Every structure is written in structure tokens, then in C-alpha cells.
Amino acid sequence: ERNKIYAEICEAKIGSEYFEEKIVQTISGAAKTKEVQCETITVAEKGTMVTPWDLGDSLDASGTEPAEAEPPESPAGKSSKSPTAEEQGEAGAVPSATASSITLAESAAPASSPEEQECHSGAILTSAKLQQDLVVMERILMENIFQPKLAVYRQIPVLIEPDVTSDTEEEGDEEEEDEDEEEETAEAAESPAEGAGPRLELLWSYGCDLTRGHSVSSMAWNKANPDLLAVGYREFLSRDQRKGLACCWSLKNPMWPERIFRCDHGVTAVDFSLARPYLLAVGTASGRVAIYDVRSRQDSALLDSSASLNKHKGPVWQLRWVEQNRGAAAGDKEERLMCISGDGRVTQWFIQQRLDCSDVMQIKRTESEKKKLPGERERKSEGPISQQAAGMCFDFHPEDADIFLAGTEEGHIYCCSCSGKEQILGTYRGHEGPVYKVAWNPASTNMFLSCSADWSILLWHRDSHSPLLTFTSVTAFVHDIKWTPQSALMFAAVNEKRVEIWDLSVSIFDPVLSCAASPEGNLSSLLFARNTECLLLGDSYGQVGVWQLHSLAVPSTDQVWLCSQGLDSFP
């Protein structure tokens, strides 16, 4: 381009009187010789001889049918058997054109069409062996990515890969490490109390594009495999109801579920069977109850309540597999599937050729106790639209499977019995909104917790119909509560934005830990991990975060005993 510009300038200057043409000799640089050293390239000649008979034998062995063509007969009327060495030598005297034409004709016969090649490629891609190999490769990749986090979760040492560096780099790294240690020491000296209290650390989150936009409604661990987690997803967008999902997640792959079961309506409850851990019960917002076999990769349900005449007409808010004593003397136990629904029914489901149920009880509405103001006339009691109270949650007694608590939409809690004439043993009134969860204390079996949409958590004693303690920290719905497996005096709760951990041995006014654990959506459910100090939090964005609990002081046995005695004697 510069030469072109120079030529244009010269052409423009030819007619000028100031232009004079001269010749200048430029010095050419000396030639340089470069030598490149590489490994010796070895060359080997290999060859093989293929006859039409070899092609025919290989096609017969592979089972491919060659094109219909009669083999050419020899001019001497000999049989078409494989020739001997002499015959092959004579065949070598055949003209090259004739031999090549015969070879091309024979090799053209077994050529496969593009459609057959595509079918063969598809068979390879859909083969079970390739699928298994891909699963193994995926497991290896996930193990490499999440190894430090999984080691912390399983409470085993974290593997650190050694850094291979040169001497110069090592000296520089040592200087940087010394500087970093000095800075950390200075920071620790400035803030010695930092990190002393309990805190949460996010390890990873179960989530993918498939679950994004759904709300986590329920979670349940598998009873036999502590690494397998079932999560139910539902979503309500204005008046439209999107389809739900029930996914089984494994620690071996936190980025994609092992099983995906699609439902026509939002999934509201999930639970694994104890006697048959491969059975997963799923309840939906339409009242449907389905049982899936997680051993199968099919999306269809093993049993379904759609054909049942007694199916629920409201959302199945909670379901659970419960062990039932069938013979007290023999100690024989059987398992039953219990459900509570928005139609006011608590049902027991039977697994036979089809899924059918019977009503354990129907929750009736009760009038709220309102004091009559002086001078106020007595009004006629207006009949409710429905005689049944919508059931929201339940929890079975840890020692007696025939006794359970049932929370309702009107804010009442009922202590019920599955056997006997009196089904309702007691009524607990204290909430002003729907009761979202109830939970028996696994150690002190006379105590239980309840949370509600009225922003409060109440602690109850079975023999007292008024709450012992009320816990309120923020003005937000409390969606879920769970007693911690470490202590009988500690429990966790989630409201819309924060997760809280309360320790009754420390304070009954403020939680020992309050953390905003979902920056993208509202928290909706929680679950404690098994055999490790971790907490699982589900949100409205479709993520299930696995959080590690650090520096959480567990009350001593004496403190638990003293507090339990004080609470038992409270009423």
C-alpha cells in the first residue's frame, strides 16, 4: 500500500520542474541459515492383499447381506472355491484392467447406503454401553469439580494437588506467601472476634435449567441411600398453574438430577418409603397421589390415584410413609401412606393392583372463640361455605404412630388419633393465620412446634392448650420448621428471606443465627442433612442450597435435661 501511494506521488510529480529522478542502490542483508532439530520420522511400508472371496467371507461373518449378484464362473468350469497359491499366481497373469474391474464390481456390492450408515451411528449413540460409559465419565468430572466441597460435606480431609514450579517461581511464591501470612495476621489482630459465632457456608446448590422458575415445595431423603434426595417443584403464575416436577438428586452429580418425573400439576409433597426405599410417593396441587419406582428411567407412575373414586379434591399438602404396629406381641410392623389435603381429609392409601384410599378422619371447622362486646346483639351464626377445614400439614408422634398433629388453614392445630372412637384428642388455638408446619420434638415427645403465616413460631406442650413460648423475629411468613438432630433444644426455621436457628438454652428472644441464604428468591423449605452438619434450603427460584454449619455450639446433656424439665413443668 505504501508503494502504491509512492507511485501515485511520483506520477503526480512528473510534470513538475522540481522533480528529478535518481537511482539509489539499497544494501541487501546477508542470508541466514536456520537449523531445526526434531525426532526422526520413520517411514514403514505395509501392504495386504484382499481377494473377492475374503470380502465375501467377511460379509457373511458380519451378517450383512450382499447385493444379489451371481458369482462369475471360471472358464474351465471349476468350482468357486478359494484358489491355491498356484492359481493365485496364474491369476496374477490376468490383465490389470480385468482384475481391477472384477475387484471394483465385488467391492461395490457390499457398500452401504447413507441411510444405513446413519442407522448404524444412531445405534451406537443409543447403546446401553455408551450410556454407561458417559455416566462414568460424568461422575469423574463431577468428582473433580466438587471434590473439595464434597470432602467438607462428608467430613473427610480435602485433597490438595501439589504445585510443580521452578526454583525461581518457588522463591517468588515463598515471598508472596510470607506477605499473605503477614496480612492475615494483621487482619486477625484487628478483628479477633470475627468468625467466632455460628455461621453458614454455601457448599453447592442443586439446580439446573429444568428447575429454574419453579418453587421448591418439599424435600425428602432416601431412607436407605443417604446420598439420594427427592425434591418437589411447583409454580403458580397468577391464575395459571405450570406443570410440576419431582426430581431425584445425587451427591455424585449436583448439576443434573438422576431421575426426572414430570407431573401435569405442581408437586406439593414427596416422601420415600422405608420398607421399599425405591418407591417415591408424590402429591400434587390437583389432589393426585402417585407412586414412582426410582429404579426405572421411565417417566410414568407405577401407581396413580386418578382412577380412584375417593381421590382428593384439594391439594395434597403433605404425605408420609408411616410404620404401623400390626402385632404388639410379635413386634410386626407394616407401612402405610398417609396424606392430608386441602379438602379437609386425612387419608390412608393402600397399594394393591391400583391405588385406593380410605378416610382416617375429616377435619371439621370450629367456631373461633370471640368475646361478646357489652351492648352487642347476638347475631345468628352464619353457616360456613364448607364444613371441612382445609388441612395444611401433619406430623406423627415419634413413639406412637397412631397419634398425629394436624394443622389447618384456619389456624387451629388438632391432636388426633387414628384408632378409637374419639378422633380429636385436643385442640390448640394460638395462630391467626394458616399453619404451615408442625413438628414433634424427637427427644422430648410432649413438646411440639408450629409455624404460621402470622409471622410467629409457637412452642406447645401436649397437655396445655395455650402456647408456652412465642418466637417472632421478623414480619414475614414462616414457611417451614425443623428440630435439629444435634440437640433437643435447637430448631431451624425459614421465613421469606432468612434462615434462623434458635437455641432455647441460650435465648428465647433472639435466634443464635440469622442469615439471608437466598439472594435470588424467597426461601420455602428446609431439611437437615443426614450424618453431617449441613442444612438444605429450597427457594422459589428452583435452587436447593447445601449449607455447612460452622461453630454451632450444641448444649450439653445437663443443659438439655434442665431445660426439658423446666418446659415440662411449665404448664
- Read off the pLDDT of residues 524-537 as tens digits, 9 standing for 90 and up: 999 999 888 899 99
Which pLDDT belongs to residue 105?
43
**Residue 366 confidence (pLDDT):** 75
Q: How many other CB atoms are there within 10 angstroms of residue 211's CB atom?
A: 22
Distance CA 511, CA 472 (A): 10
Which residue carries 385442640 as its cell?
427
* Local structure of residue 512 (DSSP, 8 states): S
Pairing of strands 303-304, 289-293: antiparallel
Place of cell 396424606: 339
pLDDT at 354: 84
Q: Give me the percent of the chain exceeding a pLDDT of 90.
A: 35
Mean of pLDDT values over 243-270: 92
Asked if residue 378 lies in contact with residue 372, where contact means CB atoms within 8 angstroms, the answer is yes
pLDDT tens digits, residue range 27-51? 777 788 888 888 888 888 888 888 8
Q: How close are the terminal C-alpha atoms of the chain, in Å?
A: 99
Q: Above 60 in pLDDT, residue 256?
A: yes
Q: At residue 215, does pLDDT exceed 70? A: yes
Judged against a pLDDT cut of 90, whether residue 316 lies above it is answered with yes
Question: With 50 as the cut, is the pLDDT of residue 95 above it?
Answer: no
Task: Give the 3-state secondary structure of residue 458.
Answer: strand
Beta-bridge partner residues of 405: 395, 415
d(CA 190, CA 209): 44
Query: 114: which 3 cell numbers?
Result: 447413507
Question: Which tens digit of pLDDT belongs to each residue from 347-370?
Answer: 999 888 888 888 888 888 876 554
pLDDT value at 318 more than 50: yes
Mean pLDDT, range 395-420, rounded to an integer: 90
| CA 48 – CA 13 distance, rounded (Å) | 73
Q: What is the pLDDT of residue 306?
A: 86
d(CA 281, CA 337): 8
Burial label for 277, CB within 10 Å (0-12, 13-18, 19+), is: middle
Query: With contact defined as beta carbons under 8 Å apart, do 448 and 438 qualify?
Result: yes
Q: Which of 333-337, 379-383, 440-444, 466-470 has the lowest mean pLDDT?
A: 379-383
pLDDT of 271 strictly over 60: yes
Q: How confident is the model at residue 308 (pLDDT cuts 50, 70, 90)?
A: confident
C-alpha cell at 473: 423475629
Residue 108 has pLDDT above 90, yes or no: no
Span 304-317, average pLDDT: 88
Residue 6 — φ and ψ, nearest 5°? -65, -40
Q: Give the CB-side neighbour count of residue 445, counting CA atoms within 13 A.
A: 8
Find, among 248, 284, 283, the residue nearest to 265 by Cα. Answer: 284
User: What whole-number distance in Å separates Cα of residue 71 and Cα of residue 121?
Assistant: 31
- What is the distance between the alpha carbons of residues 424 and 4, in angstroms, rounded to a whole number? 102
What pLDDT, on a 0 to 100 scale, did the predictor assign at position 79? 43
Q: What is the pLDDT of residue 179?
A: 64
What average pLDDT score do residues 168-194 get? Answer: 54
CB-CB neighbours of 161 under 10 Å:
6
Tens digits of residue pLDDT in 382-407: 444 557 788 999 999 998 888 999 99
- In this prediction, residue 170 carries a pLDDT of 59
What confidence score (pLDDT) does residue 556 get?
63
Superfamily of domain 199-365+385-569: YVTN repeat-like/Quinoprotein amine dehydrogenase (2.130.10.10)
Kindly state the DSSP code that residue 138 receives in the 8-state scheme.
H
User: Helices 96-108 & 52-62, crossing angle to 10 degrees?
Assistant: 10
Cα torsion through 473, 476, 482, 486, rounded to 10: -30
pLDDT at site 56: 84
pLDDT, greater one: 421 or 130: 130
Region 257-286: mean pLDDT is 93
Mean pLDDT lowest for which of 374-383, 456-465, 479-488? 374-383
User: Across the strands, what pairs with 544?
Assistant: 206, 538
Angle ∠(177,181,182) on CA atoms, nearest 5: 120
Cα–Cα distance measured from residue 206 to residue 228, given in angstroms and rounded to the nearest whole number: 12
pLDDT at 73: 47
Q: Is the pLDDT of residue 280 over 80?
A: yes
Q: What is the pLDDT of residues 498-526, one digit of tens each?
A: 999 999 888 899 999 998 887 778 899 99
DSSP H/E element including 563 = helix 557-568
For the chain, give every domain's residue range. 199-365+385-569
pLDDT at position 557 is 62
**pLDDT, tens digit, 9 for 90 and up, residues 421-453:** 678 888 999 999 999 999 999 888 889 999 999
Q: How many helices (H) and strands (E) does the chain have?
A: 8, 30
Output helix, strand, coil percentages for the chain, rounded to the nearest 5. Answer: 20, 30, 50
Integer Cα distance of 173 and 241 in angstroms: 57
What Rg, from alpha-carbon coordinates, does the chain have?
39
Determine how β-strand 345-351 pairs with β-strand 412-417: unpaired
pLDDT at 181: 61
Confidence tier at 339 by pLDDT (50, 70, 90): very high
- Taking the C-alpha atoms of residue 244 and residue 541, their distance in angstroms, rounded to an integer, is 14
Return mean pLDDT, the chain.
Answer: 79
For residue 96, pLDDT over 60 is answered with no
69 Cβ neighbours under 8 A, 6+ residues apart: 105, 109
In Å, how far from its chain's centre is CA 223? 17
pLDDT of res. 67? 47
Band of pLDDT at residue 262, cut at 50, 70 and 90:
very high
